[in-house]
Every structure is written in C-alpha cells, then in structure tokens.
Amino acid sequence: MNFLGSFTIGKRLGAGFLVTITVAVAMALAARQQMATISQQVGDLTSGEMAKVVQLSHMKDNQNVIARGVRNIVLLSDPAGMQAEKKRIDEMRAKNAEIVADLEATVRNTSTRELLKAVSQALPPYEQALDKAIALGLADDDAVATKFLLADVRPMQTAYFKAVDALVEAQQQEMRQVASGIQSAARADSLLMLGLAGLAAAFGALIAWAVTRSIVRPLKQAAALAEQVSEGDLSTTLKIDTHDETGHLLRALQRMRDSLVQIVGSVRGNAESVATASSQIAQGNLDLSQRTEEQASALQQTAATMEELNVTVRSNADNARQANQLALGAATAANDGGAAVGRVVDTMRGIQASSKKIVDIIGVIDGIAFQTNILALNAAVEAARAGEQGRGFAVVATGVRTLAQRSASAAREIKALIGHSVAQVEQGTTLVDQAGHSMQQIVAAIQRVSDIVGEISSAAVEQSSGVSQVGEAVSQMDQATQQNAALVEEGAAAAESLKQQARMLVEAVAVFKLRGGPVAMPA
C-alpha cells in the first residue's frame, strides 16, 4: 500500500512544509551560529589585535610629538613656549605609559610580549636622554643641546622606533593571521551553508516530488476514468490504495461508474426487449392486417352471395304463396265437385289442368328448394371459414338448409299426389262410381297440399327474414372488419414508430462499452 496514501493531503502538505521549515530554521540557526562565531572573531580582532596596532600607532605618534617638543625646546628661546612644549611632552609620556601598561595587560603571545619587553627596555634610556636634552634646552645651552640631540638622542630614538616598529609589525602579522583564520572560517562556513542549502533543496525537492506524486497520480487516474466515461467506456476498473481525499474521490468515481454500468445495462436490456417486442408487434400487425383484408374480401363475397340468396328466397316465397292460393282453389273446387258430380269430368279436366300447373309449380318449388339447399350449404362453408364470428350465420344456414330439404320433400310428395290425381282423372270416365270416394281423397290430399304449401310459404317467409338478417349481420361484420383493418393499420404504424424509437434508444446506449461486450443491434 502507498505509505503517503494513508495520510490526508492536508497532513502530507503540512508534514512537507513542516520538514522544509524545520530544515530552513536549522539552517538559519546554523548560519546564525556561524555568523555569531565570525562576529565574535571579528570583534576580537577589532578589539584585540587591531586595537593593539592602533595603540602602537598612537604611541609612535605620541613619541613623534615628544621628539618635536624636545626639538622645539632646544630651538626656542621663549620660556613660555618652552614650558608649553614641556607640558605637552609630559602629557604624551603619560599616554604612552598608559598604552604600554594596557599592552602588557592584554598581550598573550610570547613573541609579541618579548617585543613589547624590548620596547619597554628601550624606552627608559631614550626618555633619560630626552630629559637631559630638555634640561639643556631649558638652560639655553642650545649648542650643547643640539649636539646632544644629534649625537646621543637620535640613535636612542632610532633604536626605540625600531623596537616599536618591530612590535607593530608583529601585531599586524598577528592581526593578518587572525583575519586569515576568520576568512578561512567564513569560506568554510559558506561552503557548509551551501552544502546544507543543497542538501535542504534536495530533501525538499524529494519531499515535494513524493507529495506531488502521491496527489497527482490519483488525480490523473480520476481524470483518465472521467475521460473514459465521457467516451462511453465503462469497462475500466481502478486500483485504489489511498485513504486520503483523492482516494475518496476515486472511490466515488468508481461507485459512479458502477451505477452507470447498472443503469446502462438495464436501459440496454429494456431497449432490446422493447425493440424485440415492437418487431413482433409490427410483424403480428402485418399478419393481422393481411388476415383482416382477406376476411373483409370473404365477407364482401358472402354479402353478395346472401343478396342473391335473399332474391331467390323471396322468389321462393312468392311461388309458395301462389301454390298456397292454387291449393286453396283446388280445395274449393274439390268441395264444389262433391256437390256437382255431374260436372266431375269437367272438374277432372280442370283438376288435370290445375294438377299440371301444380306439377310445374312443384317443380319450381323443388328447384328453389334445391337451390336453397345449395346456398345454405355454401353459407355453412363460408360460416365455417369465418370461424367464431360465423357461428351464428352457420346456425341460420343450417336452419335454411333444413327448410329447403323439407320443402323439397313436400314438393316430391305433392308431385307424387298430383301424379296420382292425374292418373285418377284419366281413369275418371270409367271410375265415376267411385267419384265421391275419390273426391274425398282429393279433398284430403288437397288439404294436405294446402297445409304443406302453407308451411312452405311460412318457411319461405321465415327464410327470407333470416336471410335478410344474415345479410345485415354480414354487412355489419364487413363494416366492423373495415374498421378493424383501419385500426390494424394504425397499430402497425404505431408499432413501426415504436420499433424505430427502440432502435434509436439501443443505438444511443450502444455508445457505452461494458464488460459484456457491445450490444447487438435489432434488425
């Protein structure tokens, strides 16, 4: 684990600044100590060796003043001037005595003390000679005083000044040595400070590099993750080994990436499901539209067929009514025939003629019943094709077919009876004695025919009404089918729009890259 990563950025920066400040303070203290040492050495040089050189220089200057005073006393003739020079000489002697005493108290170097001792030893004879010259000058013995100055005082003065110069030179040499030591120490201290400064700079740079790297590296990881997320790549994972603010940032970004992965995955799955469902809906609507169009076409054909069947049934009903009227007329004639046997032959002929018409009518009825049976059969087939919606129509068609079969059966029976009646009529001339009995049979048969024809008429009326209702139902079914077709087309358009929107949604989320790979685009 990253060692610095276990500390917060504030602690790292504070520690770095604290170390840097500590090093700087240590360097400042070391520099201050070195400067204090140098200052002490310079102070010692200034107050020690240099002060001694200055004192020796003052002593030499004072001695020059004394020599000039002695010379002036020898040369002057004014007593007051002489006394003034004598007083100045005494003052300079007193100052030189103080300087010598101070030097004797402060000089520690053995060779310098020897030189100072030589100066002290050369001073009494020189001062004694000066005193003698002063006395000669005060006594106005100028010639002797001048000779004494040149012959005796001057060599002593030269020896004294030589001793003083040697002491000055020794003090200056000692001062130069001390100054050289101070300069060497200053150079060493400068090199030491430069070394410490370089070490502090290197140490500070190392700390700055470590702290900066520990901060910048996680920030670069965060920036790289944000850049990858902005490009749609959600497959990258981070290795987080810090517990500072950048670690919190990286963990927050990692949680954000995980949330985005879940959201995008959910949206992608839902988009694919919507796209698949919309495709299935569109295909189902297309199939339903085709079947609806086929159903509408079949209903139109059924409506046309029912219209033809309705016309046929109406014609059948008219024929049945006519047959009923004829049967009623035949019954009336048969009843009248029972009262007028004498007109049997004529009646028979009329019956024969009526029977032929009835045969024809029965043939028509039989044909109508056959056609009705065929139409009912076709209607049943069409109802079977219509499925659940044609079940009621199938029941009606079955009823119509039953009525048609009954009409055909009744027509056959009537035809048989009429044939029998015709045979009896043909035999009527020979069977007049049986006319009454035959007429009764005819009346009964005609009554039966009347009943059957009535039933046929009623059935035809009911059949016509049923066919009309079936036609209306088929028309309503056709209208409903047309409306369904329009709704199916609207549904197909809506499903196609949903499919396109789902495809756009899938394309939008396809930008994101997950660990599972790219999303499959719907067809």
Interval 191-216: pLDDT, tens: 888 887 888 788 778 888 877 877 77
Distance CA 292, CA 477 (A): 11
Cα dihedral 430→435→440→445 (10° resolution): 30
Identity of the amino acid at 468: S
Q: What number of other Cβ atoms are within 10 A of residue 448's Cβ? A: 16
Section 40-52 average pLDDT: 58
- pLDDT of residue 92 exceeding 60, the answer is yes
Are 453 and 320 in contact by the 8 Å Cβ rule? The answer is yes
- Is the pLDDT confidence value at 519 over 60? no
Reply yes or no on whether the pLDDT at 1 is more than 50: no
What is the number of other CB atoms lying within 10 angstroms of the CB of residue 187?
10
The H or E element spanning position 36 is helix 9-47
All domains in the chain, ordered by first residue: 4-224 (1.20.120.1730), 297-475 (1.10.287)
Q: What's the DSSP call for residue 520?
A: P
Q: What DSSP string runs through 429-481?
A: TT-GGGHHHHHHHHHHHHHHHHHHHHHHHHHHHHHHHHHHHHHHHHHHHHHHH
Q: How far apart (Å, rounded) are the C-alpha atoms in residues 273 and 85?
A: 131
What are the two backbone dihedrals, phi and then psi, of residue 238, each rounded to the nearest 5 degrees? -110, 145
Q: What is the pLDDT of residues 392-416, one digit of tens each?
A: 767 777 887 788 778 778 777 877 8
CA gap 59, 158 in Å, rounded: 15
pLDDT category of residue 460 using cuts at 50, 70 and 90: low
The pLDDT tens digits of the residues spanning 107-120 come to 767 777 787 787 77
User: CA-CA distances (angstroms) from residue 174 to 55, 168, 191, 450?
Assistant: 15, 10, 25, 177
Exposure of 118 by Cβ count < 10 A (0-12 exposed, 13-18 middle, 19+ buried)?
Answer: middle
Ranking 14-23, 223-232, 318-327 by mean pLDDT, the lowest is: 318-327
pLDDT tens-digit profile of 249-272?
777 877 877 787 778 778 777 777
Tell me what pLDDT residue 314 has. 74
Nearest to 515 by CA among 335, 265, 182, 339: 265
Q: What is the DSSP letter of 140?
A: T
| CA–CA separation, 401 and 372 (whole Å) | 7
- Contact call for residues 412 and 359 (beta carbons, < 8 A): no
Q: How many CB atoms lie within 10 A of CB 367?
A: 15
* Residue 379 burial by Cβ neighbours in a 10 Å radius (0-12, 13-18, 19+): buried
Residue 289 host element (H or E): helix 245-339
CB 195 within 8 A of CB 27: no
Structure tokens at 157: 């003065």
Lookup result for tokens 């005493």: 101
Contacts of 320 (CB under 8 A, 6+ apart): 365, 453, 456, 457, 459, 460
The pLDDT of residue 181: 80
**What token pair was written down for 246?**
């950048």
